[in-house]
């Protein structure tokens, strides 16, 4: 039996046979009903290593009744109860916070924000996973001498390619290899667009192809204009030339440089990342660059790389003034991993010498697919949309491994994934 500073008796949390059902603790209901934030609780509870309780560990504790491995339970109980009392919770209520909640359905709701009688905050996106590093404890427990998701693509053999990704990869390569392509590569943040761009450039180098890749370096793509693009082309093709003062003059220099380079056997591709930020006027100008020719030979391919907002900008119903470019632009999209998730994780762990089945339960992979579904908005309202993209998956797996290590679990399970 322990006592907090106020003298309230605290029972040592017993091992409850019902815990195998992963019932939430009464602590969750207390936080919800009193409008207390779980983040504030974490900042008030310190683990054995001197660090505050992590949000993922707190979530597993309040929602599933699973305890961190590294810190004695009585320490977590005492610190939490003292904090609850300091927040105005009656001592007799705080004292039962770590009992299992048989009436959990009555208290359904997020462990944040206001009591039920007040308007609720917008529901958090369930697919949003805070990025975190793999902890030393997780590396030790799972014998991971390298993080599987840091510097994970160091060559073509490290690149995971589903059938959809193979198509996008080949389309990008052909656009770079041959003149006259006008294409947009669209994908969510973290879907692998930049990785495929890097692979395209690396493949050009590996195969020693006569291709000049021109990349507009302007950091703020909302300000990128025709003059900036002309300057980028000249910088890569004819760096010794001084750009003309007028747009007409510099455009003539660009065309002459492309013709000379093309007759010398070179192909050219202009690559613009973050293209979803491009002004519509700049998109319209791109058609003029794409139309530059030497006889029947087009001199320049154009590859736009951006997030789904780029697809919206390539909708001629919204931007009829840009329809000449839009109608000629081929759009390819990066699909989520979904059914390829297991193979993706197999590759990531195999390249660091581990078998994913030894660390992650098969049911946990199914749970990841479910965890990364979100309800669509706007035209997709009510539809289940997958966010099972590499970066999000990497964040989720890292968090799940950290939680599993803190609980002393031998594998990542479906319940750990749901609570991460």
Nearest Cα to Cα of residue 305 among 343, 326, 331: 331
- pLDDT for 19 equals 42
pLDDT digits 0-9 by tens, 166-177: 999 999 999 999
- pLDDT for 187 equals 94
Dihedral sign, CA of 156, 158, 159, 160?
positive
pLDDT digits 0-9 by tens, 387-407: 999 999 999 999 999 999 988
163-333 is classed in which CATH architecture? Answer: 3-Layer(aba) Sandwich (3.40)
Burial 372-406 (b: 16+ CB within 10 A, else e): bbbeeeeeeeeeeebbbbbbbbbbbbbbbbbbbbb
- Domain-wise residue ranges, the chain: 1-124, 126-161+335-420, 163-333
pLDDT digits 0-9 by tens, 321-351: 999 999 999 999 999 999 999 999 999 999 9
The pair phi, psi for residue 259, each rounded to 5°, is -65, -45
- Report the SS3 class of residue 212: strand
Q: Are 352 and 397 in contact (CB under 8 A)?
A: no
Average pLDDT along the chain, 420 residues, taken 10 residues at a time: 47 44 75 82 82 78 75 85 89 86 52 35 57 90 92 88 92 91 94 93 95 88 92 92 87 94 95 94 93 93 95 92 92 93 96 94 93 70 81 94 91 89
CA distance 350 to 354: 5
- pLDDT for 196 equals 94
353: left (phi over 0), alpha (psi -120 to 50) or beta: left
For residue 145, count other CB atoms closer than 10 A to its CB: 9
Whole-prediction pTM: 0.70
Judging by DSSP bridges, how do beta strands 267-272 and 211-215 pair with one another? parallel
pLDDT digits 0-9 by tens, 297-311: 999 999 999 999 999
């Amino acid at each position: 039996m322990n006592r907090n500073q106020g003298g309230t008796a605290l029972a040592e949390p017993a091992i409850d046979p019902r815990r195998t059902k992963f019932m939430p603790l009464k602590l969750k209901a207390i936080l919800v009903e009193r409008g207390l934030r779980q983040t504030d609780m974490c900042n008030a509870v310190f683990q054995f290593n001197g660090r505050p309780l992590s949000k993922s560990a707190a979530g597993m504790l309040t929602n599933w009744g699973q305890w961190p491995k590294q810190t004695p339970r009585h320490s977590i109980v005492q610190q939490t109860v003292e904090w609850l009392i300091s927040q105005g919770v009656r001592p007799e209520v705080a004292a039962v916070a770590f009992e299992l909640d048989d009436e959990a359905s009555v208290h359904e709701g997020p462990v944040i924000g206001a009591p039920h009688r007040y308007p609720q905050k917008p529901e958090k996106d369930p697919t949003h996973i805070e990025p975190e590093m793999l902890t030393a404890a997780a590396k030790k427990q799972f014998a991971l001498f390298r993080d599987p998701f840091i510097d994970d693509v160091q060559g073509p053999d490290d690149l995971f390619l589903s059938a959809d990704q193979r198509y996008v990869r080949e389309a990008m390569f052909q656009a770079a290899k041959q003149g006259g392509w006008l294409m947009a590569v669209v994908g969510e943040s973290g879907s692998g667009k930049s990785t495929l761009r890097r692979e395209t450039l690396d493949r050009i180098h590996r195969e020693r192809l006569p291709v000049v890749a021109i990349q507009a370096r302007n950091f703020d793509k909302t300000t990128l204009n025709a003059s900036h693009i002309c300057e980028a082309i000249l910088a890569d093709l004819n760096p010794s030339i001084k750009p003309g003062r007028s747009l007409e003059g510099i455009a003539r220099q660009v065309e002459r440089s492309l013709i000379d380079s093309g007759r010398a056997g070179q192909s050219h591709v202009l690559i613009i990342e973050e293209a979803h930020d491009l002004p519509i006027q700049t998109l319209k100008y791109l058609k003029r660059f794409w139309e530059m020719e030497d006889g029947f030979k087009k001199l320049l391919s154009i590859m736009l790389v951006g997030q789904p907002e780029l697809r919206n900008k390539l909708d001629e119903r919204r931007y009829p003034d840009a329809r000449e470019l839009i109608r000629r632009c081929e759009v390819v999209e990066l699909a989520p991993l979904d059914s390829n998730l297991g193979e993706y994780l197999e590759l990531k762990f195999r390249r660091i010498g581990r078998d994913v089945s030894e660390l992650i339960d098969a049911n946990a992979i199914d749970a990841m697919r479910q965890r990364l579904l979100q309800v669509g908005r706007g035209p997709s309202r009510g539809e289940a949309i997958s966010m099972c993209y590499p970066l999000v998956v990497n964040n989720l797996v890292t968090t799940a491994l950290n939680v599993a290590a803190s609980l002393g679990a031998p594998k990542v399970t479906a319940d750990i994934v749901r609570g991460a």
